[in-house]
Amino acid sequence: MSLISDNLQAVLAHIHAYALESGRDPGQVDLLAVSKTFGADAVLEAAAAGQRRFGENYLQEALDKMQAVHAARPVLASPLEWHFIGPIQSNKTRPIAEHFAWVHSVDREKIARRLSEQRPDHLPALNICLQVNISGEESKSGVLPAEALAVAQQIAGLPRLNLRGLMAVPEASDDEHQQRQAFRQLKELSQSIQAAGIALDTLSMGMSSDMHAAIAEGSTMVRVGTAIFGSRNYAK
């Protein structure tokens, strides 16, 4: 077995164990493999080991990779589901609307409106998570918690989008108590939006270093890169 396939099995085993430990159904926690900075070969290895969902942050890199993956192994590539999780410039929404199944990083109405207008008719509605700046860090993207309901209502009214839930990247912390606090805030925000009549089924939270806390607080999709593919080299 390859290293990637070993790592993938280990991450899936952790997800399973963490879900059971929290009294949750392991089937309710999906794994998004974050393949940014890694090549088509890495995606193909993970796909051959059974991984279907892949997350990407950089548009051009992602488009090139999708094409390379399809060209190399069309049968393996066709069931793959691509999720965009990086910052979105408004002049780059069209290729995102055309090539991805999910976008986790929507943080304003303008971006959502453009994605809805540009989603091709032959594709199902684009799945959306509203990104929330849960720690209120100035440098972070995401709507502030106080604005989340209003933006969620706007997104829910757009015809070619399917608002699925909330996403957050909390302030990094080694302290599991702090990690859980941020994830709990996101979960509570999701509950309050649902109480206002908007159906949500997704909490996109948890990465390699805080998966345990995220699953304990109700994550339904962990976005894991390093623990599957190794550490990233941005210099390349």
Ligand X SMILES: *Cc1c(COP(=O)(O)O)cnc(C)c1O
Binding site for ligand X (CB under 6 A): 34, 36, 57, 85, 169, 207-209, 223-227
Instruction: Let me know: does 171 contact 96? Beta carbons within 8 Å.
Output: no
Smallest distance, ligand X to C-beta of residue 231, A: 8
Smallest distance, ligand X to C-beta of residue 232, A: 7
| Of residues 153 and 208, the one with the C-beta less far from ligand X | 208
Give me 235's structure tokens: 């210099």
Smallest distance, ligand X to C-beta of residue 197, A: 28
DSSP letter at 223 equals E
Smallest distance, ligand X to C-beta of residue 47, A: 18
| Of residues 73 and 101, the one with the C-beta less far from ligand X | 101
Identify which of 25, 31, 20 has the alpha carbon closest to the alpha carbon of residue 208.
31
Instruction: Let me know: does 107 contact 147? Beta carbons within 8 Å.
Output: no
In the block, which residue shows the tokens 């109700």? Answer: 218
CA separation for the pair 107, 143 (Å, rounded): 5
Smallest distance, ligand X to C-beta of residue 54, A: 12
CA separation for the pair 210, 178 (Å, rounded): 10
| Of residues 163 and 169, the one with the C-beta less far from ligand X | 169
CA separation for the pair 12, 9 (Å, rounded): 5
| Of residues 145 and 225, the one with the C-beta less far from ligand X | 225
| Of residues 85 and 128, the one with the C-beta less far from ligand X | 85
Smallest distance, ligand X to C-beta of residue 209, A: 6
Report which residue's Cβ sits closest to ligand X. Answer: 225
What is the CB-side half-sphere exposure of residue 16 using CA atoms within 13 A?
6
| Of residues 153 and 209, the one with the C-beta less far from ligand X | 209
CA separation for the pair 159, 146 (Å, rounded): 25
For residue 93, the surrounding DSSP H or E stretch is: helix 93-99
